[in-house]
Structure 1
Amino acid sequence: MIDSGTPDARQDFYDRVVAATADTRYRPRRTVPGFDLTVDVPRSPLTARRISQVHTYRVVLHPQERRFSMTDIVRTVEYEAGLGGVRTSKTVSSGRNVYVTWSRSLDGTRRHSFSSAAGHRLIRGVARELGWEEIRPTSVKAARAAGLLGAAIALGTLIACAVVFLF
């Protein structure tokens, strides 16, 4: 195994991701700090709105520490035809996105599904094989802290209500 402190450690990580995504819808692309793993999210053509969505797993590698961080970037473009013409909206979200979609062809013969967690598992599996550790992005840490604070406030409110109504 290549020592994680060598320049080849990034290349080894990337090569394993390329091998793991061969013959899949995932498209790996090298970047300076690591790599992007991109996939088109299948959408149902059965709606009036046309939605195009691309999910990118942005991976930043820190070979000296044998650590990596992963951020999801989801780009969505919606087209909707109506009486006023065609409206287009574009959104980009960044952070940790976990979701599942299902779609099928117009004749109902082909079904497609997508789970953003599958890309996370793929990248984490390669990292585990190489002995790398994941660093949570700041946005994920902030969201977790906000969630814990909200849970603590809700628990305190429930306890206060129980004290008031039971005694």
Structure 2
Amino acid sequence: MPVWGANRGDAVGEFQSRIEAAVTDTGYRYQRTGQGFDLTVDVPGPERRIHTYRVVLRRPERAFTMTDVVRTIGYGAGPDGSRRGKTVTAGRSVYVARSRALDGSGRWHTFSSADGHRLIRGVARELGWREVRPTSVKIAMAFGVLGGAVAIGTLVALAVVFWF
């Protein structure tokens, strides 16, 4: 059995190859990029949703970032009838989508975005890579902490005002 790890000459190539092998014959589509790879999957549901796990590998640090890019194409009612709408979100998306098969079999198709995260993190762990959060996630977390602090401050101020 080959030894993977810090002594491996082409750590990025090994990471990419392991992911590519792991998604062979699955619903995931694999594409190498200049800095890593994209895993793309069609999400079942009434609207067309495409989930891409964009992974950037940093070889010197043996670190990676993972960003979820979710493209949704749906239809909605507008003043002039049915209108096609598109949205694109990037950051960290964790959700589950479930829909019935269109073939009349009564089967359900389920998608969990966490499955792709687990797959990528599992390969990374085996090869000794660590995850670094992308800047967009760090910014979102900072705003969340700031919003939480403002909410707690507001509750304390209201408690003081109504207590006295």
- Same-fold call, TM > 0.5? yes
**Cα-to-partner distance string for 1:68-114 (whole Å, 9 max, x where unaligned):** 01111111112458894652222211111111111002536110111
Q: Give 4+ residue runs of structure 1 displaced > 3 Å after superposition.
A: 1-7, 79-86
Partner residue, 2:72:
76
User: Match for 1:123 among 112, 120, 125?
Assistant: 120
Aligned 8 A contact 1:5 1:63 in 2: no
Instruction: Decide whether aligned partners of structure 1 residues 146 and 5 sit closer, same or farther in structure 2, where only a CA change above 3 A counts.
Output: farther
Distance in structure 2 (CA, Å) of the matches to 1:83 and 1:153: 39
The residue type paired with residue 87 of structure 2 is: T
Partner residue, 1:159:
156
Secondary structure at the counterpart of residue 24 of structure 1: coil
Equivalent residues, number:
161
User: Match for 1:95 among 75, 91, 98?
Assistant: 91
Partner residue, 1:48:
none
**Cα-to-partner distance string for 1:29-86 (whole Å, 9 max, x where unaligned):** 1111000000000114xxxxxx211100000001111000111111111245889465
Instruction: Decide whether aligned partners of structure 1 residues 157 and 163 sit closer, same or farther in structure 2, where only a CA change above 3 A counts.
Output: same
Instruction: Decide whether aligned partners of structure 1 residues 62 and 85 sit closer, same or farther in structure 2, where only a CA change above 3 A counts.
Output: same
Partner residue, 1:62:
58
The residue type paired with residue 42 of structure 1 is: P
Distance in structure 1 (CA, Å) of the matches to 2:134 and 2:78: 40
User: Match for 1:20 among 22, 43, 49?
Assistant: 22
Instruction: Decide whether aligned partners of structure 1 residues 69 and 5 sit closer, same or farther in structure 2, where only a CA change above 3 A counts.
Output: farther
In structure 1, stretches of 5+ residues that fail to align are: 45-50
How far apart are 1:23 and its partner, in Å? 2.8
Aligned 8 A contact 2:5 2:127 in 1: no
Aligned 8 A contact 2:74 2:85 in 1: yes
Aligned 8 A contact 1:6 1:63 in 2: no
**Cα-to-partner distance string for 1:114-162 (whole Å, 9 max, x where unaligned):** 1111111111111111111111111100000000001011111111222
TM-score (norm 2): 0.87
How far apart are 1:166 and its partner, in Å? 2.5
The answer on 1:109 being equivalent to 2:111 is: no
TM-score (norm 1): 0.86
